[in-house]
Amino acid sequence: MNKYLLNGLYFLFAIIIISAFAFKLFQPIKVLPRMQLAPAFNLTDQNDARLTSEELRGKFVLYNFTYVNCPAPCYNLNKTMQEVQTRLSEAELGDIQVEFITISFDPDRDTSAVLRTYADSIGADTKQWSFATNTNKALLKTIIGSGFETYYEDKGDGKFAFDPSFVLVDGWGIVRAEYRYQTEVSDADRIIRHLSVLAEEVRNSTGTAKLAYEAAHLFLCYAP
Amino acid sequence: MKLKIGIAITIFFTGLALGVYFFSPHTFHGTVIQSPNPSFDFTLTGADGDVSLSDFRGKLVVIYFGYTFCPDICPATLANVGQALRRMNENQSKNVQLIMISLDPERDTPKKLSEYVVHFYPSFIGITGSNEKLAEVTSLYGIFYEKSAGSTTENYTIDHTATLLVIDREGYLKLVFPFGVTVDEIADDLKYMLR
């Protein structure tokens, strides 16, 4: 093969490898991983109205899972939800709407009326934050346990053992982040940061910019 | 000297452009999922007995949720997948398995389902199951569905999420195609995944 052509090819490969390495090293674009499909559901909210996964398409949704009779730790989970809701303007969301949904895994006691009273008692802004459940316990276990991968177990004495967590789902119904409740650092800070990252990706989800974002997914350039 | 620098810069950018064009990674038309866990392994009933997702390990599995009385979206989507497979060579198409999961077990018997899906492509499989089983499978695959009343009790339709899901050869959900994806786009992504 012609010496110049061969050198040209080496040069070309070197540029590609350097470019890819530079992209991975400097990570000019950050994304959140597309972890899995969020489960579909049909729940009943605090106003006894239907709440389905389908009507949440196009919105970012932050979920958490609890029960009304939960002692102390749940108070902190609610505080985080409230903090994110209050500080939402920091997230540079543009036109993208965010919903907050707390799903109760105790449908026997957490009726719509009980959930409504609970929402009022913690001062939740229910225009944006819904409290919901489903009386079909097997299906609820599928949705929360398998779909959202959040462990909970009825201990039989009116209490539940569960992993406190938040799950962030994008407008396509894909889980983009999971937050296993931490006491040392604020989950709210991370959630707000992640909402910004996600909104930026949505704004750049067409044309040439999309290619750059897909490259960021390919190179695992994940936001901390 | 200036001329040499000019030539070097021109070569650099030409090389970069050619490199990006020829060696850039495939851009998927569907949304890529990077799930760390294998897809939920369901078992439902087909015309020849039980069918599980894991039966097709080693092949790409395209899953579509619909029903045979579906007036427009389901046949259009199944026809698109059938055409996409016809645009592949035999070695490629035999490594893709479409499974249609019927959301209407009351009207769609396994036999009827089987007869329906092969109209679109000979290897297509149709399966269904109890309402409880379907509720579990659909929820875990992000598929919402509900009955919509018709003029008579038998004449109902079913509103459902119309995405196409692609499970890779190792059993992981890899791609989600939105409704409206074209034949070329399906064929393009499936061919790439079969490389």
Within 8 A by CB and 6+ apart from B77, the residues are B64, B66, B162, B164, B179
Q: Do B135 and A53 touch (CB under 8 A)?
A: no
Please state which of the ranges A120-134, B113-127, B142-156 shows the lowest mean pLDDT: B142-156
Q: How many domains does chain A have?
A: 1
Per the rule left: phi > 0, alpha: psi between -120 and 50, beta: everything else, A62 is: beta
- Put simply, whether A6 touches B (Cβ < 8 Å) is no
Chain B interface test: which of A37, A143, A201 (most B C-beta within 10 Å): A37
Which pLDDT value is given to residue B155? 84
- Put simply, whether A174 touches B (Cβ < 8 Å) is yes
Closest by CA to A177, choosing from A56, A42, A36, is A36
Residue A178 domain flag: yes
Minimal Cα distance from A36: which residue of B?
Answer: B35
Which pLDDT value is given to residue A205? 82
Q: Do A54 and B161 touch (CB under 8 A)?
A: yes
Of B18, B31, B34, the CB nearest to A172: B31
CA of B54, closest CA in chain A: separation in Å? 18
Within 8 A by CB and 6+ apart from A174, the residues are A34, A35, A36, A37, A38, B31, B33, B176
Within 8 A by CB and 6+ apart from B17, the residues are none
Q: Which residues of chain B have a CB within 8 Å of the CB of A36?
A: 33, 35, 37, 173
Tell whether the model's pLDDT for residue B20 goes beyond 60. no
Chain B interface test: which of A11, A13, A36 (most B C-beta within 10 Å): A36
CA distance B1 to B7: 10
CA distance A69 to A111: 12
Q: Do B25 and A11 touch (CB under 8 A)?
A: no
Residue A223 domain flag: no
Tell whether the model's pLDDT for residue B122 goes beyond 80. yes
Within 8 A by CB and 6+ apart from B125, the residues are B46, B51, B97, B98, B99, B100, B114, B117
Q: Are the C-beta atoms of B35 and B102 separated by less than 8 Å?
A: no
Residue A29 domain flag: no
Task: Give the ipTM of the model, two decimals please.
Answer: 0.84
- Put simply, whether B13 touches A (Cβ < 8 Å) is no
Tell whether the model's pLDDT for residue B114 goes beyond 90. yes
- Which CATH number characterizes residue A55's domain? 3.40.30.10
CA distance A221 to A29: 7
Which pLDDT value is given to residue A148? 96
Q: What is the mean pLDDT of residues B24-34?
A: 85
Torsion of CA B105, B111, B117, B118, to 10 degrees: 180
Residue A187 domain flag: yes
Q: Do A34 and B34 touch (CB under 8 A)?
A: yes
With vertex at residue B158, the alpha carbon angle to CA B132 and CA B138, rounded to the nearest 5 degrees, is 40
Q: Are the C-beta atoms of B188 and B82 separated by less than 8 Å?
A: no
Of B12, B27, B32, the CB nearest to A211: B27
Which pLDDT value is given to residue A8? 78
List the structure tokens of B14: 């030409």
Tell me what the pLDDT averaged over chain B comes to. 90
What are A44's strand-pairing partners?
Answer: A50, A133
Cα within 13 Å of Cα(A123), Cβ side: 6
Burial of A26 (0-12, 13-18, 19+ CB in 10 A): exposed
What are A179's strand-pairing partners?
Answer: A166
CA distance B123 to B60: 13
Q: What is the mean pLDDT of residues B72-82?
A: 96
CA distance B125 to B51: 9
CA distance B50 to A106: 34
- Put simply, whether A28 touches B (Cβ < 8 Å) is no
CA of A148, closest CA in chain B: separation in Å? 9
CA distance A113 to A48: 8
DSSP states of A96-154: --EEEEEEES-TTT--HHHHHHHHHHTT--TTTEEEEE-S-HHHHHIIIIIIS---EEE
Under-70 pLDDT residues of chain A = 1, 16, 19-27, 72-73, 75, 182-185
Tell whether the model's pLDDT for residue B56 goes beyond 90. yes
Amino acid at the residue B51:
V
Which pLDDT value is given to residue A219? 83
| Structural domain of A148 | 36-218
Q: Using 50, 70 and 90 to split pLDDT, how confident is the model at B10?
A: low
Residue A44 domain flag: yes
Residue B112 has a CB neighbour count (10 Å cut-off) of 15
Torsion of CA B188, A211, A33, A76, to 10 degrees: -140
Residue A98 domain flag: yes
Coil, helix or strand for B43?
strand
Of B18, B140, B173, the CB nearest to A142: B140
Which pLDDT value is given to residue B11? 60
May I ask the CATH architecture of the domain B29-194?
3-Layer(aba) Sandwich (3.40)
Torsion of CA A17, A19, A23, A26, to 10 degrees: 110
Please state which of the ranges A198-212, B2-16, B81-95, B105-119 shows the lowest mean pLDDT: B2-16
Q: Using 50, 70 and 90 to split pLDDT, how confident is the model at B31?
A: very high
- Put simply, whether B12 touches A (Cβ < 8 Å) is yes
Residue A203 domain flag: yes
Residue A133 domain flag: yes
